[in-house]
Chains A and B, each alone.
Chain A
């Protein structure tokens, strides 16, 4: 089994790169929680504006947070928002996509209308309106729900397109004539072919959700007192860390965010390769 995995890995490099990047991130957070006292991520738990040193490897910020502790505590929170919003989005989106593509009719045109218009409206602005209206001490999970409220649009569109093309295939009709019922066909005939697409759409949704949540936080609409990556960037901007030359303050969150997005991006490309490999069949 290992040999086959290795041979496949060589062919699908981007999948490997994606997994390695996210693996490193998981290691950093995992070990961090063992080694670092994450309570130091709260303000006034360390001397302010210290460049990286032995006792503060990532340095400290103006409000006296130890940046290493902030990163170790904040990264899982941002990822948590991404995963909750991503899973919710793909869950709701794929069900709507399935229903509208498989049962067609009025349901399909309504869902298609909402999705098409929804995708032309800039998501961030709608999220801003929502966040501004609820601005009384957001928690991380509320943030995830806000982002999830629009995260279902894209999955619905891609799943609907996939199911539409699959539904016309002959094997669906043969299954029906072999005595399979509607739901059975969805689970047994359509689902297995859809899984690789679903996986790629999920990773895309998580990535988009993280981007949206960081966007809101940078604008100051995030959970004010939690050490998420986006909020760190908000304080960086708020305190003009760039102009004051405190480079360590924004370097840490940016490197981690880069690793998150690059990892998710290569993962999506790898999963796409599984969903429709270019070399379908040898002669």
Chain B
């Protein structure tokens, strides 16, 4: 992804949901995108699949899948890329599945619309195989979404996502609505299927602990900008950007008790961002240059990028 800019037209003028976001993803790599609400992380995910609906629109930027620029594809060609090459695991909310159709139909209709010619019997077989690979009993195929628990619904979504053996799986807060025990089971299932497919995963979320334990490389977004992206070990041993450092410090840990180091100030409103670096009103190290010009992302150490005037 190079310099992606997504605008939302509101009565108060165009709002930049993502501003010049760039990153690269290796085959089979697990990349995490962490950020708080309004940071633009979900917008970026939907932009990759070109699912941004009005009043949002992709204003600029390129998204390359190996040698294909997704921005240049026709709507029909883009449709065929979805699920076949880039699959989405939706937010853990409870109605990502069609409430009035059985699970097996929701798997098979994806295969049919991607012109997978299989007989009814092969279809049943493929459904059973997919459900088993995500740890679900074959009977689930004939059940309706309201008969499944939260964890089971997410496993069905994973099964759908891997049904066409995609190269990239985008998981947008896949377990945010699940309890911690079920979350672990679902994430372990995702890890297993990813390894079997050798697919790359982009995990989007706000739970830094989940990021620390799952992804290889982690990007942090703030107010629509990618403020830092580095190998996950480096981020947790030596965070570069002040926001990353304060975010990690504010996380409740089991080591020292009673330490509450929140980040002062308020999350910025996207429609009237502070000039220069968007984080400067809350940054303890801000100096005059921070209020004037916006920092550009630079490679501070090999493989670690951050955009901050301090570095």
Indicate yes or no for A touching B, C-beta below 8 A.
Answer: yes
* Residues on the B chain within 8 Å of A279, using CB: 11
- The bracket for how many chain B residues form the interface is 10 to 19
* Residues on the A chain within 8 Å of B10, using CB: 282-283
How far apart sit A279 and B9, CA to CA, in the bound complex (Å)?
Answer: 13
> B246 interface residue, CB < 8 Å from A?
no
Q: Which of B1-18 contact A (CB under 8 A)?
A: 8, 10-12, 15, 17
> B271 interface residue, CB < 8 Å from A?
yes
> B270 interface residue, CB < 8 Å from A?
yes
* Residues on the B chain within 8 Å of A283, using CB: 8, 10, 15, 17, 38, 269-271
**Closest partner residue, chain B, to A282 (CB atom):** B10
**Closest partner residue, chain B, to A281 (CB atom):** B10
How far apart sit A283 and B11, CA to CA, in the bound complex (Å)?
Answer: 10
Q: Which of B224-280 contact A (CB under 8 A)?
A: 269-271
* Residues on the B chain within 8 Å of A282, using CB: 10-12, 271
**Closest partner residue, chain A, to B56 (CB atom):** A283
A160 nearest CB across to chain B (Å): 25
How far apart sit A282 and B11, CA to CA, in the bound complex (Å)?
Answer: 8
B21 nearest CB across to chain A (Å): 18
How far apart sit A283 and B224, CA to CA, in the bound complex (Å)?
Answer: 13
Write out, one digit per residue, whether chain A residues 252-283 have a CB within 8 A of any chain B CB (1) or not (0). Answer: 00000000000000000000000000010011
How far apart sit A282 and B8, CA to CA, in the bound complex (Å)?
Answer: 10
* Residues on the A chain within 8 Å of B15, using CB: 283
Write out, one digit per residue, whether chain A residues 66-84 have a CB within 8 A of any chain B CB (1) or not (0). Answer: 0000000000000000000
Write out, one digit per residue, whether chain B residues 2-46 have a CB within 8 A of any chain A CB (1) or not (0). Answer: 000000101110010100000000000000000000100000000
How far apart sit A279 and B17, CA to CA, in the bound complex (Å)?
Answer: 18
**Closest partner residue, chain A, to B13 (CB atom):** A282
Write out, one digit per residue, whether chain B residues 201-241 have a CB within 8 A of any chain A CB (1) or not (0). Answer: 00000000000000000000000000000000000000000
**Closest partner residue, chain B, to A279 (CB atom):** B11
Write out, one digit per residue, whether chain A residues 25-48 have a CB within 8 A of any chain B CB (1) or not (0). Answer: 000000000000000000000000
How far apart sit A282 and B272, CA to CA, in the bound complex (Å)?
Answer: 12
B10 nearest CB across to chain A (Å): 5
* Residues on the A chain within 8 Å of B38, using CB: 283
How far apart sit A282 and B13, CA to CA, in the bound complex (Å)?
Answer: 10
* Residues on the A chain within 8 Å of B11, using CB: 279, 282
How far apart sit A279 and B271, CA to CA, in the bound complex (Å)?
Answer: 16
* Residues on the A chain within 8 Å of B269, using CB: 283
How far apart sit A283 and B17, CA to CA, in the bound complex (Å)?
Answer: 10
**Closest partner residue, chain B, to A11 (CB atom):** B11
How far apart sit A211 and B11, CA to CA, in the bound complex (Å)?
Answer: 40
Q: Which of B142-177 contact A (CB under 8 A)?
A: none
**Closest partner residue, chain A, to B10 (CB atom):** A282
* Residues on the A chain within 8 Å of B17, using CB: 283
A58 nearest CB across to chain B (Å): 48
How far apart sit A279 and B270, CA to CA, in the bound complex (Å)?
Answer: 18
How far apart sit A283 and B269, CA to CA, in the bound complex (Å)?
Answer: 8
A77 nearest CB across to chain B (Å): 46
A85 nearest CB across to chain B (Å): 40
**Closest partner residue, chain A, to B8 (CB atom):** A283
A257 nearest CB across to chain B (Å): 39
**Closest partner residue, chain A, to B17 (CB atom):** A283
A283 nearest CB across to chain B (Å): 5
B278 nearest CB across to chain A (Å): 15
A211 nearest CB across to chain B (Å): 36
How far apart sit A279 and B12, CA to CA, in the bound complex (Å)?
Answer: 13
How far apart sit A63 and B17, CA to CA, in the bound complex (Å)?
Answer: 73
A243 nearest CB across to chain B (Å): 52
B246 nearest CB across to chain A (Å): 24
**Closest partner residue, chain A, to B11 (CB atom):** A282
How far apart sit A216 and B201, CA to CA, in the bound complex (Å)?
Answer: 69
**Interface, chain B (partner A; CB < 8 A):** 8, 10-12, 15, 17, 38, 269-271
The 6 closest A-B pairs by CB, nearest first: A282-B10, A283-B15, A283-B270, A283-B10, A282-B12, A283-B8
Given contacts A282-B271, A283-B269, A283-B270, 7 further A-B contacts (CB under 8 A): A279-B11, A282-B11, A283-B10, A283-B15, A283-B17, A283-B38, A283-B271
- Please, could you name 13 A-B residue pairs with CB atoms under 8 Å apart, sorted by A? A279-B11, A282-B10, A282-B11, A282-B12, A282-B271, A283-B8, A283-B10, A283-B15, A283-B17, A283-B38, A283-B269, A283-B270, A283-B271
